[in-house]
Structure 1
Amino acid sequence: MQLYNTLSAKEREKLIEEAGKDRLTISFYKYAHIGNPQILRNHLFIAWNKMEVLGRIYVAHEGINAQLSVPAENFEVFKNHLDSITFLENVRLNIAIEQDNKSFLKLKVKIRKKIVADGLNDDTFDVTNKGVHVGAEQFNQLIEDPETVLVDMRNHYESEIGHFKNAITPDVDTFRDSLDIIENDLKNHKEDKKLVMYCTGGIRCEKASAYYKHKGFKKVYQLEGGIIEYARQVKEKSLENKFLGKNFVFDHRRGERISEDVISNCHQCGKPCDTHVNCANEACHLLFIQCEECTQAMNDCCSDECKQIHALPFEEQKRLRKGKVVSNKIFKKGRSPVLKYKK
């Protein structure tokens, strides 16, 4: 019984090109009390692999978090399968605004301690005791209220390329970092202010809303479905779009354009730009913002040193990488000192 990938990303990419069929990029999450994540994980992999579903899915005792790509012709079968799982019946699916048949090239269903890393002791509060969910229209009304505090629950590199007007955008590297900062900044307004939060698809806000209710906040709201669902509703209902720029997404696209505003800059030359790339030097792989001119001048790299390494023969690059640890703990997203115009 196949429970893991057998094809490389390149092999899968070739198959997708040969098939010539449209795919849908979808995300969803659900907080629930799952007794045996391993059994659910195996069940999902077996069923979805047959449907040619690709993506990155995390399963934990607290629920499921999924970003995936589904052949358009298999969407109804995929949806029916979700509905056959009790806690996933009628789960909200966020369908990407901009489609890319190669947004994911492997099916990875992994067991995690949590579906959102938060550094918290979740036993102290019920993650399913969430705040009030609001749609795009009510959200627009709420954030115009002077008694509302609007908070972006994403990390600095996400909000840098796009955020809602007048939102507080904590300069943090992790979701956990933002929790204490926001609570401390708003500690005197737990009863009088309306705390309204948003994130990419809603998953971080939902946990944060339960956390802040546990911490004594009385008026807690979150944007239903996050920025992805907001953009869809704005278009469908012809609402005023209050989001500026791009929505950072966690697949090969790295961003969906929500408005024509470009609110960030190339980290190398300072020119207006909101295109995220990864440094082509595999020993670095730094995530940063790079314009087309700098992409050509720097050969897809973040620094002259990386440019020199990337120009070496592949085997020589592998030799230089051997024994070195590459992770976000070392190479902060967009934080490297080699970037002159970083936020």
Structure 2
Amino acid sequence: MQLYNKLSAKEREALIDQAGTERLTLSFYTYAHIRNTEIFRNHLFINWDKLEVLGRIYVATEGVNAQLSVPAPNFDAFKEHLDSISFFENIRLNIAIEHEAKSFLKLKVKIRNKIVADGLADDTFDVTNKGVHVDAFKFNELIEDPDTVLVDMRNHYESEIGHFKGAVTPDVDTFRDSLDIIEEDLKDHKEDKKLVMYCTGGIRCEKASAYYKHKGFKNVFQLEGGIIEYTRQVNEKGLENKFKGKNFVFDHRRAEKITEDVIANCHQCGAVCDTHVNCANEACHLLFIQCEKCAEAMDTCCSTACKEINSLPYEEQKALRKGKGNSNKIFKKGRSEVLKYKQ
């Protein structure tokens, strides 16, 4: 019985091209109590592999976080399987604004301690005691209220290319970093301000809302379904779109364009640009913003040193990487002394 992906990304890419089938990119999450994560993980892999589902799915005792793509002809069968699981039944699926057949190239179902890393002890608060969910209409009303503090619960490289008007965008590398910063900044307003939060699809805000209620905040709200669901609702209902720029996504697309606004800059020359790339030097792989002109001049590398390494024969590059761990710059996305125009 196959329980793990056996095809390389290139092999899967070739199969996708050969099939020529439309694929739907989507995400969902749920907080639930899962006793045996290994059995549940294997159950998901076996059933979704049959349906040619690809993506990155995390299973933990606190729930499931899934980002994946499904062949359009198999979507009904996939939804039927979801509904056969009690805590997945009628779950909201965040359907991507832009679809890409190769947004994922492998099926990875992994067991994690948590579906959202928060650095907190599990018994400090009840993650199911969440804040008030609001739709796009109510969200637009709330963020115009002078007693509202709107907070982006994403990381710096996400909010840099797109965020809501008037949002506080913490300059952080991790979700955990945001929790203490926001609490400290708003410690004197736990009762008189409305704390309204948003993220990509809602999963981080769900946990953050429970955390801030535990910390004494009285009026906690979160954008249901995050930026993805908000965009769908404003388009369907003709509401004012208060988001500007792109929504960063964690697959091969890297971002979805929500509006035509470009609010970021190339990290190398400062030109108006919001295109994320990974440094072509595999020993670096730094995520940063690079315009087309710099991409051509630098061979999609973040620095002259990386460009020189990337120009070497592949075997020489492998030899240079041998025995060396990945640079910490990889995990501090968009942060490096070589990026002159990183704000």
1:329 and 1:122, CA in 2 relative to 1: closer, same or farther beyond 3 A? Answer: farther
Corresponding position of 1:247: 247
C-alpha displacement at 1:331, in angstroms? 5.1
More displaced stretch, 327-336 vs 289-298: 327-336
SS at match of 1:150: strand
Amino acid at match of 2:168: I
SS at match of 2:326: coil
How many aligned residue pairs are there?
343
Q: What stretches of structure 1 of length at least 5 have no aligned partner?
A: none
* Whole-angstrom CA distance in 1 between matches of 2:162 and 2:330: 25
Query: Do 2:68 and 2:104's aligned partners in 1 also have CA atoms closer than 8 Å?
Result: yes
Corresponding position of 1:84: 84
Corresponding position of 1:285: 285
Corresponding position of 1:51: 51
For residues 215-243 of structure 1, the C-alpha deviation after alignment (integer angstroms, 9 at most, x for no partner) is: 00010000000000001101010110000
Query: Do 1:284 and 1:331's aligned partners in 2 also have CA atoms closer than 8 Å?
Result: no
* Whole-angstrom CA distance in 2 between matches of 1:270 and 1:327: 25
For residues 136-167 of structure 1, the C-alpha deviation after alignment (integer angstroms, 9 at most, x for no partner) is: 01100000000100000000000000000000
Corresponding position of 2:317: 317
For residues 252-308 of structure 1, the C-alpha deviation after alignment (integer angstroms, 9 at most, x for no partner) is: 000000011100000000000000000000000000000011110000100000000
* Whole-angstrom CA distance in 2 between matches of 1:327 and 1:57: 26
C-alpha displacement at 1:330, in angstroms? 6.0
* Whole-angstrom CA distance in 2 between matches of 1:256 and 1:61: 31
Describe how 1:184-333 pairs up with structure 2 within 5 A.
184-326=184-326, 328=328, 332-333=332-333
Percent pairwise identity: 81
C-alpha displacement at 1:248, in angstroms? 0.3
* Whole-angstrom CA distance in 2 between matches of 1:329 and 1:283: 10
Corresponding position of 2:163: 163
1:331 and 1:38, CA in 2 relative to 1: closer, same or farther beyond 3 A? Answer: closer
SS at match of 1:324: coil
- TM-score, scaled to structure 1: 0.99
Corresponding position of 2:147: 147
SS at match of 2:25: strand
* Whole-angstrom CA distance in 1 between matches of 2:40 and 2:331: 34
For residues 54-113 of structure 1, the C-alpha deviation after alignment (integer angstroms, 9 at most, x for no partner) is: 000000001000000000000010001000000110110000000000000000000000
Query: Do 2:264 and 2:273's aligned partners in 1 also have CA atoms closer than 8 Å?
Result: yes
Corresponding position of 2:122: 122
Query: Do 2:161 and 2:262's aligned partners in 1 also have CA atoms closer than 8 Å?
Result: yes
C-alpha displacement at 1:328, in angstroms? 4.6
Whether 1:12 and 2:29 are equivalent positions in the alignment is: no
* Whole-angstrom CA distance in 2 between matches of 1:229 and 1:44: 25
C-alpha displacement at 1:25, in angstroms? 0.2
C-alpha displacement at 1:214, in angstroms? 0.4
For residues 151-193 of structure 1, the C-alpha deviation after alignment (integer angstroms, 9 at most, x for no partner) is: 0000000000000000000000000000000000000111111
Whether 1:180 and 2:209 are equivalent positions in the alignment is: no
* Whole-angstrom CA distance in 2 between matches of 1:315 and 1:328: 23
Query: Do 2:286 and 2:329's aligned partners in 1 also have CA atoms closer than 8 Å?
Result: no
Query: Do 2:281 and 2:306's aligned partners in 1 also have CA atoms closer than 8 Å?
Result: yes
C-alpha displacement at 1:33, in angstroms? 1.1
SS at match of 1:246: strand
SS at match of 1:151: strand
Query: Do 2:151 and 2:195's aligned partners in 1 also have CA atoms closer than 8 Å?
Result: yes
More displaced stretch, 318-327 vs 15-24: 318-327
C-alpha displacement at 1:124, in angstroms? 1.3
C-alpha displacement at 1:122, in angstroms? 1.9
Amino acid at match of 1:40: F
Corresponding position of 1:72: 72
* Whole-angstrom CA distance in 2 between matches of 1:272 and 1:329: 23
* Whole-angstrom CA distance in 2 between matches of 1:128 and 1:42: 26
Task: Could you list the structure 1 runs, at least 4 aligned residues long, displaced by more than 6 angstroms after superposition.
Answer: none
Q: What's the RMSD between the two structures over aligned residues?
A: 0.8
For residues 3-61 of structure 1, the C-alpha deviation after alignment (integer angstroms, 9 at most, x for no partner) is: 00111000000000010010000100001111111111000000000000000000000
* Whole-angstrom CA distance in 2 between matches of 1:9 and 1:74: 21
